[in-house]
Amino acid sequence: MKHFGVIAWLMMAFSLVAPSSWGEQKCTHIRVELNGAAVPAPRNITLLKTRGGTPIVVRVEDGCFQLPEKLRHSESIDVIFQVEGDNIHLTGRRPSDFAVGWNLVLKDSATEGPFAAFESVPAREICVVEFEPGGDGTAIVQTGCRSAKKKTDGSPVQK
C-alpha cells in the first residue's frame, strides 16, 4: 500500500504534464525570403491532400502554423498561400515535413545555385524550401510553384 500513494502522485503529475506536451501538435515555423531579404510570413495557408481533397485553411500566427489532425496521416499534402504579391503552391509534402521549420527562398532572377540550374524555367517560378534552417541542409527545389497574383480583372498585380 505504501507504493499506492507514490503511484497515485506520479499519475497525477503525469496527467498535468501530458496534455500540454503530447496533446498538442507542435507548429511548423515558416520563414520567407525574397531576393535575400526576409518578408512577412503568409497570414493563412491552405492545406489539402495531393490529387484531391477538401482544402483546409489554417492561420499562421507568429510565423507558425499547425498541420490539421485529418491530414497527419495523408500520403502527401499540397501547401498553398500568398506572399509578396505571389501565389505559392508547394506540392507533395509529406506529413513528416511539417515537424520541422521551413525557410522558403524565392528569387526574381539568378545566375547561380538551384535557381539557375533549370535552363527552361525562370528563377521567378522556382521555390527552394530549406527544412530546419541551420540544420542538416535538407531542402527541396520545386519548379512551377510560384506565379504572380492576379487582380480581379485577370492582369498580374504590380509590385
Per-residue confidence (pLDDT) for residue 135, from 0 to 100 = 60
Asked whether residue 44 is assigned to any structural domain, the reply reads: yes
Range of 65's domain?
26-148
Q: Residue 31 class from Cβ within 10 Å (0-12 exposed, 13-18 middle, 19+ buried)?
A: middle
Residue with cell 515535413: 97
State the total domains in the chain. 1
C-alpha neighbours within 13 Å on the C-beta side of residue 115? 21
Asked whether residue 106 is assigned to any structural domain, the reply reads: yes
- For the chain (159 residues), the mean pLDDT of every run of 10, in chain order, is 37 35 65 94 95 91 94 94 94 92 92 78 92 76 89 51
The CA distance from 152 to 158, in Å, is 13
Per-residue confidence (pLDDT) for residue 76, from 0 to 100 = 95
Asked whether residue 158 is assigned to any structural domain, the reply reads: no
Per-residue confidence (pLDDT) for residue 112, from 0 to 100 = 76
Asked whether residue 159 is assigned to any structural domain, the reply reads: no
Transcribe 13-62 into DSSP letters. HHHHHHHHHHSSPPPEEEEEEETTEEEPPPSEEEEEETTS---EEEE-BT
Asked whether residue 70 is assigned to any structural domain, the reply reads: yes
Strands (E), 84-138: 86-93, 102-106, 126-131
The residue type of 6 is V
